[in-house]
Structure 1
Amino acid sequence: MDITLTLAELKKKPGFADNVGMVLVHNGVVRGWSRKDHAPVTSVRVTPDRARMDAICRELEARPGIFCILAEAVEGECRPGDDLLFLVVAGDIRENVKAVFAELLDRIKAEAVIKQECTA
């Protein structure tokens, strides 16, 4: 996902200017160390469940104040520093957008993306 292009396209959607006061973006990247034991990571194999990701996005998009949610996960083998997961939540006010963004991130990672780390 090209964030600059994605945001430019989002702003062209009918109703954007009337309904959006905040856009939050997540650009997850592969860490060079494992979260569980800080061992060096050489690669990560990513398997996204795109149907589940879409279902979560549509469910959360129905929440009050949310205008649009976009999610994209890389599939395959990634190296430290590579982009892994992009999330965009656009909505009316901070309280609505932040809450949905936090839930989106947690649910996508828990329910829709499988990562297998290869450590040194």
Structure 2
Amino acid sequence: MPKDGCYFMKVVSVVGYKNTGKTDIVTKIIRKLVKKGSVGTIKHMRSHEFIDPDTDTGKHFAAGAEIVSGIVNSGVITYSKSSSIEDSLNTLADNGIDFAIVEGGKETDLPKIIIENGSGLCDLTNIVAKISLHEEQEIEYLVEIILSLPDWETLGSLIKKAKLNPDIKECGAIGTFTGIVREQTGNLKTRMLVFEKYEDVAEQKIQDICKSLKQKEGINEVLIHHKSGMIKPGQDIVYIVIAASHRHQLFPALSEAIERLKAEVPVWKKEFTFDGEYWVHDK
């Protein structure tokens, strides 16, 4: 269990020009964060290659294996054909990591700590902090920024949290709901949806729903997460996880959670189709 009670993963990228000390800053942040929870890292390694064609694992990969894992004395090395940072972050979250640091990732929309060394980085999006020195006080400041960042949740991380609840020993079922973006509705084809949340109010309403449902007999845990921003067809929008003593208690609570989320939480949806765009509540 995380040392400071963190259950949802905080994500930040550290961005700077080559030889500006990114790795040094990342390692200093890691040393601070491991006192608060588990840490995972991701690094762009465009000029490095893990899969040697002369090794057995390299031959597996060359033959068409999607994922190759090698067990070595110091741990497990896993190599995947996916080069998506999002996929890598989801894997860390599913494994219960509390803090994820991406070294690099200028092209992403992730929260960014930039190392000041020229004006070019100022054009990046979602800059949450700037750093010019590697001093203790500045690293402490960066840690506080990271602790305040939005959570990165997956269905797997929510299930893991539900199982960490001490009352899980009384549960016989965990039920989940995942809402995704539907691409085709009749003759209408969706390009993407954009969700906007009245953040503080929305999160409070979600917590109110969870607290209310947990008052029902046999319901031990209720966790809800609704994403915001741009979401493409087939991608996840919302997760609901409920742990209950029995299945006949679980399913009504899961259904109620879905309906109350839609009715009570201030989340606005804008739909972009090939025929135009509109706010769904306006339509």
- TM-score w.r.t. length of structure 1: 0.87
Q: Aligned with 1:15: secondary structure? A: helix
Indicate the residue corresponding to 1:26 in structure 2.
177
* 2:219 paired with 1:66: yes
**1:18-49 CA-partner distances (Å, limit 9, x unpaired):** x2111111111111024xx5410011111242
Indicate the residue corresponding to 2:165 in structure 1.
13
Which stretches of structure 1, 4 residues or more, deviate above 4 A after TM superposition?
Answer: none
Separation of aligned partners in 1, 2:165 and 2:187? 43
Q: Which has the higher contact order (CA 8 A, sep 6+)?
A: 1
Indicate the residue corresponding to 2:252 in structure 1.
99
Bigger Rg, structure 1 or 2: 2
Gaps of 5+ in 2: 1-152, 275-283
Indicate the residue corresponding to 2:156 in structure 1.
4
Amino acid at match of 2:257: L
Give 2:238's match in structure 1, choosing from 85, 93, 96: 85
- TM-score w.r.t. length of structure 2: 0.39
**1:88-113 CA-partner distances (Å, limit 9, x unpaired):** 01111111111110000111022213
The total of aligned residue pairs comes to: 117
Cα separation, partners in 2 of 1:95 and 1:71, compared to 1, 3 Å: same
Give how far 1:58 is off: 1.0
Gaps of 5+ in 1: none
Give how far 1:78 is off: 1.1
Aligned alpha-carbon RMSD (Å): 1.6
| Percent pairwise identity | 24
The answer on whether the counterparts of 2:165 and 2:221 sit within 8 Å (CA) in structure 1 is no
Give 2:189's match in structure 1, choosing from 40, 47, 54: 40
